[in-house]
A and B are shown apart, each in its own frame.
Chain A
Amino acid sequence: MSKTIIIGISDLNIAYPPDVLVTYALGSCVGICLYDSKTKVAGLAHVMLPLSTEVKDKSNLAKFADTATLELIKRMEKAGAEKGRLVAKLAGGAQMFALQEGNEAFNIGKRNVIAAKQVLKNLNIRIIAEDTGLNYGRTVELSPETGTLKVKAIAHGIKEI
């Protein structure tokens, strides 16, 4: 029986076939997906903020792109994955509201995506697909069997990346 493992906000987890990882309604948050096709170990983090170095309270590792990615890798390695084989997919990082004041809070989606890319680059993990930016929410489902990321949006249907 296949289980659906649900990732909340500022949360992360890993899975193997036949289970799947799901996170609902990514807005400006970013979903970081890591996958090792040899061992079929998959990991998904729903991160809210770019870097843990920018805030005081960093107790929740899954909240930030940098600490969440490292924690995900740690858990995936424990489950048999190899860091050198990992590839990444990204989704989310939308700008949900168009307010014209140049308030940095409204560009946070973009900043989250940039941070996630930088973190992955520093770790030498290749990003093989992404569905990021624009102005709408996305629910994503990551399959450890195939590494496919299903992205669902209200007005934009379902696509697989």
Chain B
Amino acid sequence: MTENYDNLNDLQIDVLKEIGNIGAGNAATTLSMMLSKKVAMSVPQVKIIGIQEIANILGGPENQVVGILFTLSKDIEGMMMFILKQEFAHLAVNQLMGRELESFSDFEEMDLSALKEIGNIMAGSYVNAISSLTNFEIGISVPGIAIDMAGAILSVPAIQFGKIGEKVLFIEEEFIGGDGENVNSYLILIPEIDSLHKILKILGVEL
């Protein structure tokens, strides 16, 4: 029996990757609508990796990033966290709020709300992907947001998952805007271990 992500086999990882792919596709579509510009996306990279490695991908543990956190409930319990680097956050806020922001210290309450809304839509995209594949009903909380050191933000999912393992499911997506600018979003998905079992079982890859 799979105790945690560290022991998943290739087939099980492929199934989780597929959920990531479908979710990313949904997310690109909704993001295009929201930013009212065409947003293409690269094939998302889905990895099962340690928190420290994620901190490095995000530019080091002290790099300032945006974390948007949701809790999942009903059939699937756990957490979902979006992480956006500065470029993504600026692009999104500039586009949505129609103003040029240079740094995080310029962000106001309205800008944070805009980011939360993007988080909502992106989280919804992934949750819908899981729901449509599994027929599970998944509840999603209102978002919590933090702008701080990547390592500090990552401590929250790390701790949540730390009780059962060292690694988490990490989805990295590259969005390519119409003007050719690239921005990456990062998603960490942490179902409770029972919920992970349920997902894998219903998709036919439980061992």
Which chain A positions have C-beta within 8 A of B60? 24
Contact call B149/A97, Cβ cutoff below 8 A:
no
Task: Judge whether B178 is part of the interface by a CB distance below 8 angstroms.
Answer: no
Q: Which of B55, B62, B159 contacts A28 (CB 8 A)?
A: B159
Q: Which of A55, A63, A99, A154 contacts B144 (CB 8 A)?
A: A99
In the assembled complex, the CB of A49 is this many whole angstroms from the nearest CB of chain B, namely 6
- List the one stretch of B41-49, B63-71, B194-202 in contact with chain A: B63-71
Q: Which of B71, B148, B165 contacts A137 (CB 8 A)?
A: B148
Task: Judge whether A103 is part of the interface by a CB distance below 8 angstroms.
Answer: yes
In the assembled complex, the CB of A5 is this many whole angstroms from the nearest CB of chain B, namely 15
Closest to B3 in A: A57
Q: How large is the interface on B (under 10, 10 to 19, 20 to 34, 35 or more residues)?
A: 20 to 34
If A48-B158, A48-B162, A49-B159 touch, whether A26 touches B71 (CB-CB below 8 Å) is no
Task: Judge whether B9 is part of the interface by a CB distance below 8 angstroms.
Answer: no
Which chain B positions have C-beta within 8 A of A97? 67, 69, 144-146, 156
In the assembled complex, the CB of A160 is this many whole angstroms from the nearest CB of chain B, namely 18
Which chain B positions have C-beta within 8 A of A61? none
Which chain B positions have C-beta within 8 A of A28? 152, 155-156, 159
Task: Judge whether A27 is part of the interface by a CB distance below 8 angstroms.
Answer: yes
Which chain B positions have C-beta within 8 A of A138? 152
Which chain B positions have C-beta within 8 A of A136? 148, 152
Contact with A along B138-154 (1 / 0, CB 8 A): 00011011101111111
Contact call B160/A25, Cβ cutoff below 8 A:
no
Within 8 A of A (CB), among B29-71: 51-52, 55, 60-62, 64, 67, 69, 71
Which chain B positions have C-beta within 8 A of A100? 142
Contact call A96/B162, Cβ cutoff below 8 A:
no
Task: Judge whether B164 is part of the interface by a CB distance below 8 angstroms.
Answer: yes
Contact call A25/B156, Cβ cutoff below 8 A:
no
Which chain A positions have C-beta within 8 A of B145? 97
Task: Judge whether B163 is part of the interface by a CB distance below 8 angstroms.
Answer: yes
If A9-B52, A24-B151, A139-B149 touch, whether A99 touches B69 (CB-CB below 8 Å) is yes
Contact call B154/A103, Cβ cutoff below 8 A:
no
Within 8 A of B (CB), among A1-44: 8-10, 24-29
30 residue pairs bridging A and B, Cβ less than 8 Å apart: A8-B52, A9-B51, A9-B52, A9-B158, A24-B61, A24-B62, A25-B61, A25-B150, A25-B152, A27-B152, A28-B156, A28-B159, A29-B158, A48-B159, A49-B163, A55-B163, A57-B164, A57-B165, A63-B162, A96-B67, A96-B155, A97-B144, A99-B144, A100-B142, A101-B71, A105-B156, A105-B159, A137-B151, A154-B64, A154-B149
